[in-house]
Every structure is written in structure tokens, then in C-alpha cells.
Chains A and B, each alone.
Chain A
Amino acid sequence: MAPSSRSLAGMDGVTTLGDQARDALAAYEDLASLAEDIEDEWTYVTELHAAWRERIEELIDERGTESVTTLEEAAISRAVDEIGRISDPHRAIDWLSTFPQIVLVTLGERS
């Protein structure tokens, strides 16, 4: 796919959608690790994690070189902070579904 007009791939100091999404995925890995503490839900947790990770990786493949706005950057950062507060593995399972939806609402609905 050709880079979009907002493509800033390769420019130093510029945050791209790919950078933001990869940061989100790194935090998402930690969230999944916490959720895996619920042994009865281990299969669901791993499959849910894999499904949403794939969805975000698709976004990176399609639009990873686009720039993000400061508002979008702050939103993802704040969402990462929110899941960093979670210590209850049951709540972590809820957020395995919720967090990627926030990321996609922030990054995925832009035309």
C-alpha cells in the first residue's frame, strides 16, 4: 500500500500510528499476562488476546506510517496508563476486550 499523505515514515522525532499501536500492544501483553492468572479462563484469554492483537497488527500494516496527532498520542498514553492500574485479573479480562476498542476508536476511525 502506498504511504498516505500523512505518512511520516523515516522522519526522526515524529510519532507514527505504528509507534503508538506498538506501544499499545506492549502494554496489552502485560494485561494478558495478568489475565492469564485466571486458570479457568486461560484458553479464552489467550485466544482473545491473539484475536485483538491481530486486529491491531492489521492496522499497523495498513496505516502504520501515518502520523498521529498530539490528542491521539495522549489518548493512547492515557489508555495505557489506565490498564497499568489494573491489579485484579478478572478486571484484566474485561480490559482485554475494552482496551483494543479504545485504541481502534482513537486510531481506527480516522478517515
Chain B
Amino acid sequence: MRFQDAAQDARAITYAAIQAEPVVAQAAALLADATPAQRVLARAVMNGETLDPDGWRTMFPTLFGPTVEPSARERSEAILTVSLAIADRGDQTRNQLRGALVESLSVELLGRRVSAAGVRRERRILFDGVRAEIHPYDVTVERAGAAEAYDCKWGARGINADVLHQLEDARANAEAEGEVLRVALVVFDAELSCRVRLERQTAPHDRSGLVTLESLGSLSS
């Protein structure tokens, strides 16, 4: 098993430009240490229709109410600001930024558990005698004997057969080579929604992990 950079095609260039938007790194840094409720706020705002910050403050009294600790409120305000900056983009850019955010957040959290140099983005995984997948894996942890591969999604709806097959194929191919490759989906959505989505999927996923809005912290511990 070996890892390789994705081809520098038009998709990769577009992806790199989106990833380089400062708002992506800002949001990822804030959400890495956010509470579950703050992550729900971010998801709602970035999915939302309104750009009125007071409307969102009203909608989340547990984050902005009068009894909230100032430091917690300050973080919620920062999350609201950066989420509105992403929401205030055209639909296509908003979708791209949200996807990039989930990847950046995963990289940020994984980098707290393993050497940051070992956490990579947009990498293909190659196996002897197996035709390589065209699409790279969103995030990989590349270390001997304990490699990991993640596919990152903004919402549960992004879970589909192609994604599940790609993860399972990599895991099975690694196993055939006597290697360990942990594979998982990272979804910035509620576990319940992901479970509903997975329930109907016939593609193999019993040995793929699932990291959701509630369990993002597991990436770093």
C-alpha cells in the first residue's frame, strides 16, 4: 500500500483554491474546539436562508442568552460571524466551502492525535495489482502500521454507494496486503440522520467508521 498525490487536473486546482480561502481555516479552527450546540449553530447558519445575525442569536438562546458565560458567548459569536461569511456566498461556492471546511476540520483534529506531517489531503491509495481509484481520498493519515483514510461530507445526504465502496475497497485491499487501514466517513451532520441514510445503503459499510457532528472529537483522541 502506498500513497500518492492526486493528479493536478482542473478539479484539483479548483479544490486548492477553495481550500485556500481564509474563511475555511478560520471556521475549522473555531469548530475544532466547539461544543455540539455550537456545531449545530454553524451547520444551521451555513445551510440557512437568513443572514441576519440577530435572528440566529434568537434561535440559539443556549449560546447567546443572558446567562451564557462571556467566553463561551465570544466563541459562539466568532462561529456565527464566520458561518455567515460562508453563507453569504453563491450556492455553488457555499457548497464548495462547506465541503472544504469539513476536510479542514478533520485535518485540524487529526493533527492533534498524530504528527501533523502525516495528515494529508487529496491523496490516492495504490495497491499492487489493483487499478487505482480515480478519485482521491479527502484526508489520509499516513504512518506505518496505522494508516487511515477519510471521506468528508457536509451532510448525511452525501453518503452514497460510491463513497462506501471506495472506502471499503481501500480497507479490503490493504488487508489483503497485510496492512492496516482504518477507513471512516466524517459527516458534519447528526448521527441519527447518518444512520437513516446508511440504513438503506446496500454497499458494504460494516467495517467503515462513522464520525458525526456529535463525535468529531474522536478524531483527535
Contacts and interface: CB of A to CB of B under 8 A. Distances in A.
Given A82-B50, A97-B156, A47 B200 contact: yes
Contact of B49 (A71, A86, A96): A86
Interface residues of A, number: 31
Decide if the interface of chain A is mainly helix, strand, loop or mixed: helix
B203 interface: no
A41 B88 CA distance: 27
B199 A102 contact: no
Contacts of A78: 55, 58-59
Interface stretch (A6-14, A26-34, A48-56): A48-56
- The bracket for how many chain B residues form the interface is 20 to 34
A43 B200 CA distance: 9
B164 to A, nearest CB: 15
B196 interface: yes
Contacts of A96: 193
A82 B58 contact: no
Interface of A: 41, 43-44, 47-48, 51-52, 55, 69, 71-72, 74-75, 78-79, 81-82, 85-86, 91, 93-98, 101-102, 105-106, 109
List 3 A-B pairs, minimum CB-CB distance, nearest first.
Answer: A71-B61, A97-B193, A85-B49
